[in-house]
Amino acid sequence: MIPPRAVLQRATDPAWLALALAHFGEVLIDHAHCEKKAAAHALSLLSSYPEVPGLPRAMARLAREESGHLAQVLLLLDKRGLTLGRDPGDPYAQGLHKLLRNPRPQRLLDLLLISALIEERSRERLQLLADHLDDPELRSFYARLADSEAGHGELFVRLAKRLDRDHAQERLEQLARAEGELIARLPIRAAMH
């Protein structure tokens, strides 16, 4: 069976890749913040929805994996003499957050599906970096990370479908359209999103 995936409605603008390659240090710092937020988000879902079957263990494993990514990116920062600094915030994640509905079951469905879309957008961009960076070590590092984020995207779609088999797909398509509009509207930055 083909694993369920969130399908992006709009490909990343090629101008993003040019900017990211030209300011790779900035992208790396932002990437570390993204991995940190991914780990924290997994633990926050675990702590907000402990009663949902399968969710706590899946989120515990995810948090461990994202923390592993964070540690690896932090090592790359150290090697380049770069400092993490404070997180300036991410207009992409903030824009997606506004799409959340409030009643508890719908909110969880939306959180899972938005998480799937963020993972999928990250996968797309990590793969672009894997395909276009010069350093062979970085290329294979980003290719491995892209595969891992693809798995996370599938995990979130699976959890969403288990939660609400009847509505998950339709809501995923709505949110994917909104994500595509958001990514087209936001200014391009030397950052993961």
The secondary structure of residue 99, as a DSSP letter, is T
Q: Judge whether 27 and 192 are in contact, CB under 8 Å.
A: yes
CA gap 124, 10 in Å, rounded: 11
Nearest approach in angstroms of CB 13 to Fe ion is 22
* 120 touches Fe ion (CB under 5 A): no
> Distance (Å, rounded) from C-alpha 126 to C-alpha 132?
10
Of 18-26, 62-70, 78-86, 126-134: span binding Fe ion (CB under 5 A): 62-70
Interaction of residue 33 with Fe ion, rule CB under 5 A:
no
Which among 47-55, 100-108, 145-153, 184-192 is the span making contact with Fe ion, rule CB under 5 A?
Answer: 145-153
Q: Which is nearer to Fe ion, 35 or 90 (CB)?
A: 35
154 makes contact with Fe ion (CB under 5 A):
no
Among 69, 123, 125, 189, binds Fe ion (CB under 5 A): 69
Task: Judge contact between 39 and 70, C-beta under 8 A.
Answer: yes
Q: What Rg do the C-alpha atoms of the chain give, in angstroms?
A: 16
Q: How far is the CB of 153 from Fe ion (least distance, A)?
A: 8
Total residues contacting Fe ion by CB under 5 A comes to 7
Is 193 one of the binding residues for Fe ion (CB under 5 A)?
Answer: no
Closer to Fe ion by CB, 143 or 165: give it: 143
Count of positions (residues) in the chain: 193
Select the span of 28-36, 94-102, 123-131, 162-170 touching Fe ion (CB under 5 A): 28-36
Distance CA 134, CA 119 (A): 24
Query: No. of H helices and E strands in the chain?
Result: 7, 0
Q: Compute the distance between CA of residue 106 and CA of residue 186 in angstroms, rounded to an integer.
A: 26
* CA of residue 13 relative to chain centroid, distance: 17
| From candidates 30, 90, 110, 149, binder to Fe ion by CB under 5 A | 149
Which residues here bind Fe ion, judged by CB under 5 A?
35, 38, 66, 69, 119, 149, 152
